[in-house]
Amino acid sequence: MERVLGLVRQCRVVLGWLEHPLKPDESSSAEAERILYFALMSAIEAGLIRTMEDALMVLRPRESAIRAGWARRVVGAPSRAMRMGNE
């Protein structure tokens, strides 16, 4: 999660650079390229955020099961299969 947040922050920094021309007399081809990269970086940022939102939507309903499994591994409690004599 921290890596994704770092990427989003970096995207926003780059977007800030791309938002305005570096030179007042920017050529039309340089402007077109800057606008293209601005659009691409905006799409990447939106995609990163959307992907994380989708991942959370999938994981939230399973949160209690995930926590229970994690707690068993950390505490060393036997798994359900072991309690039932299957292992």
Residue 30 near residue 17, CB atoms below 8 Å: no
Q: What pLDDT does 87 receive?
A: 47
Q: What pLDDT does 43 receive?
A: 94
User: Does residue 77 lie in a domain region?
Assistant: no
User: Does residue 87 lie in a domain region?
Assistant: no
User: Does residue 79 lie in a domain region?
Assistant: no
User: Does residue 40 lie in a domain region?
Assistant: yes
C-alpha 56/C-alpha 60 separation (Å) is 6
User: Does residue 72 lie in a domain region?
Assistant: no
DSSP secondary-structure letter at 85? T
Inter-CA distances, 26 with 29, 31, 34, 40, Å = 8, 6, 10, 20
Q: Which structural domain, as residue segments, surrounds residue 25?
A: 2-61
Tell me how many domains the chain contains.
1
Instruction: Average the pLDDT over 6-15 and give the result.
Output: 90
Q: What percent of the chain has pLDDT over 70?
A: 84
What digits encode the pLDDT tens for the residues 36-61?
999 999 999 999 899 989 988 888 88
C-alpha 1/C-alpha 8 separation (Å) is 11
C-alpha 85/C-alpha 55 separation (Å) is 34
